[in-house]
């Protein structure tokens, strides 16, 4: 489970890692209140996607009017495919340098791996491509943990000296503790900034908790409070459903395929109303998926895009066929199917008069036409 930045920062703070002053706002008014204590602020979209800065999801405000204006824009927007439902409003820091610290799991070795770099602020993947020599990595035996002298040595090799080295080493130890204590798969600070007055502060926070271990940490997230009603309902059926603002309901098997589907729709001028993943153990729930998608009153048509692998297209098609036969598909539906069981699946749906394609771009164009045309 990926945590929101504000959730990860709360954990950081409780474990001694310095974070900027600020708070979480769900409305422009709340943002305004937090701003009063800050003077000038950073507004950070709380979405479960990386690269927010590049996508325009991180904005600065130096006056109450600028804050209101930018908070209003961000709260109505979508960053990386996710609706922005809350903002982290934090003091704007004067940054001298951006560093990187991370802890993750090295599965092949059954160990933890600590990463540090004097070049923070860019994606670690990108850094690994462009400047692999600028990343210090160290495997850690999880039974033994990370020793203070090891933490110090790692940040020293990343180029830190003096007071920055001492603070950096301590933060790395704390980050490792957080990683361990919360059963994290990833705990990352990017950037860890050196401010102009020479202090280290975690400006960004990323944590992924092992799904199997989430139950052990009920304090992390209160009661699904961030979900819409439909998203909560979908969860009770174990369906991954994310609500968006458009008119085309999207069902697909696989997160990557869903992202592609959203791109196809937007390419042809359509806007997705949601994406819903039926895959893994949920791929036989196409009928429930249809029900959830159509409960959103904005939906004018459904686009089902499926690529059969372990989840076979014919099984998904049977689920869709059930829903059609029971009269549950009350809006036009266009489907694309490829891969395992696709031929069979296409036959099932074709017999029921569903426009069905092998090519998802053509199917996407059709569904956008349907919505635009009427």
Binding site for ligand GDP (CB under 6 A): 42, 44, 50-53, 58, 92-93, 95, 98, 121, 190-191, 203-204
CB of 242 to Mn ion, least distance (A): 22
Given the rule CB under 5 A, which of 160-168, 196-204, 209-217, 260-268 is the region that contacts Mn ion? 196-204
Q: Is 46 in the site for Mn ion (CB under 5 A)?
A: no
| Closer Cβ to ligand GDP, 204 or 247, answer by number | 204
Q: Is 247 in the site for Mn ion (CB under 5 A)?
A: no
| Closer Cβ to Mn ion, 22 or 304, answer by number | 22
# residues contacting Mn ion (CB under 5 A)? 2
CB of 43 to Mn ion, least distance (A): 15
Q: Which of 190, 258, 305, 340 binds Mn ion (CB under 5 A)?
A: 190
Q: Which of 189, 272, 223, 205 is nearest to 46 (CA)?
A: 205
| Closer Cβ to ligand GDP, 95 or 284, answer by number | 95
Q: Which residue is nearest to Mn ion (CB)?
A: 204
Q: Which of 98, 204, 360, 365 binds Mn ion (CB under 5 A)?
A: 204
Q: Which of 6, 100, 241, 357 is catalytic?
A: 100
- Residue 298 φ/ψ, nearest 5 degrees: -75, -20
CB of 185 to ligand GDP, least distance (A): 18
CB of 124 to Mn ion, least distance (A): 10
Both tokens of residue 131? 């400047």
CB of 200 to Mn ion, least distance (A): 15
| Closer Cβ to ligand GDP, 82 or 180, answer by number | 82
CB of 92 to ligand GDP, least distance (A): 4
- Note whether 85 and 24 are within 8 A (CB): no
Q: Which residue is nearest to ligand GDP (CB)?
A: 53
Give a three-class secondary structure readout of the chain: CECCHHHHHHHHHHCCCCCCCEEEECCHHHHHHHHHCCCCEEEEECCCCCCCCCCCCEEEECCHHHHHHHHHHHHCCEECCEECCCEEEEECCCEEEEEEEEEEEEHHHCEEEEEEECCCCCCHHHHHHHCHHHEEEEEECCCCCCCHHHHHHHHHHCCCCHHHHHHHHHHHHHHHHHHHHCCEEEEEEEEEEEECCCCEEECCCEEEECHHHHHHCCCCCCCCCCCCHHHHHHHHCCCEEEECCCCEEEEECCHHHHHHHHHHHHHCCCCEEEEEECCHHHCCCHHHHHHHHHHCCCCCEEEEEEEECCCCHHHHHHHHHHHHHCCCCCCCEEEEEEECCHHHHHHHHHCCCCCEECCHHHHHHHHHHHHHHC
Q: Which of 78, 98, 173, 188 is catalytic?
A: 188
| Closer Cβ to Mn ion, 50 or 159, answer by number | 50
- Note whether 101 and 116 are within 8 A (CB): yes
In the residue annotation, 150 being an active-site residue is answered as no
Which of Mn ion, ligand GDP, none sits in contact with 50, Cβ below 5 to 8 A by type? ligand GDP
Q: Is 117 in the site for Mn ion (CB under 5 A)?
A: no
Which of Mn ion, ligand GDP, none sits in contact with 92, Cβ below 5 to 8 A by type? ligand GDP
| Closer Cβ to ligand GDP, 187 or 363, answer by number | 187
Both tokens of residue 143? 């039974």
| Closer Cβ to Mn ion, 193 or 294, answer by number | 193
Given the rule CB under 5 A, which of 11-19, 102-110, 183-191, 330-338 is the region that contacts Mn ion? 183-191
CB of 168 to ligand GDP, least distance (A): 17
In the residue annotation, 241 being an active-site residue is answered as no
Axis-axis angle for helices 313-325, 286-295 (nearest 10): 50
- Note whether 153 and 140 are within 8 A (CB): no
Q: Kindly list the residues in this chain that would bind Mn ion in the complex (CB under 5 A).
A: 190, 204
**Catalytic residue set:** 100, 188
């Amino acid at each position: 489970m990926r945590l929101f930045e504000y959730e990860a920062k709360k954990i950081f703070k409780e474990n001694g890692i310095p974070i900027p002053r600020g708070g979480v706002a769900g409305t422009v008014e709340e943002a305004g209140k937090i701003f009063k204590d800050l003077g000038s602020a950073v507004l950070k979209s709380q979405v479960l996607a990386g690269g927010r800065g590049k996508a325009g999801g991180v904005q600065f405000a130096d006056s109450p009017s600028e804050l209101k204006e930018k908070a209003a824009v961000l709260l109505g927007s979508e960053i990386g495919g996710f609706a922005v439902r809350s903002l982290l409003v934090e003091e704007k820091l004067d940054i001298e340098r951006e560093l990187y610290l991370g802890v993750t799991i090295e599965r092949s070795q059954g160990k933890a791996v600590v990463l540090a770099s004097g070049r923070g602020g860019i994606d670690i993947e990108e850094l690994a491509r462009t400047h692999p020599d600028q990343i210090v990595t160290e495997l850690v035996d999880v039974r033994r943990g990370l020793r203070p002298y090891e933490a110090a040595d790692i940040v020293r090799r990343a180029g830190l000296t003096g007071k920055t080295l001492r603070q950096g080493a301590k933060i790395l130890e704390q980050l490792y503790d957080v990683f361990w204590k919360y059963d994290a798969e990833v705990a990352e600070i990017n950037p860890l900034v050196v401010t102009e007055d020479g202090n280290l502060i975690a400006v960004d926070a990323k944590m992924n908790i092992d799904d199997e271990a989430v139950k052990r940490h009920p304090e992390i997230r209160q009661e699904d409070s961030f979900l819409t009603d439909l998203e909560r309902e979908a969860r009770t059926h174990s369906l991954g459903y994310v609500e968006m603002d458009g008119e085309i309901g999207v069902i697909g098997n696989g997160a990557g395929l869903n992202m592609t589907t959203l791109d196809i729709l937007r390419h042809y001028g359509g806007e997705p109303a949601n994406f819903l993943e039926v895959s893994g153990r949920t791929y036989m729930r196409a009928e429930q998926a249809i029900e959830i998608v159509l409960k959103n009153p904005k939906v004018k048509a459904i686009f089902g895009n499926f690529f059969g692998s372990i989840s076979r297209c014919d099984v998904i098609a049977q689920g869709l066929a059930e829903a059609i036969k029971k009269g549950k598909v009350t809006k036009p539906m266009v489907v694309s199917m490829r891969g395992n069981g696709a031929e069979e699946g296409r036959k099932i749906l074709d017999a029921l008069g569903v426009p069905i394609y092998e090519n998802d771009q053509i199917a996407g164009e059709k569904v956008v036409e349907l919505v635009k045309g009427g």
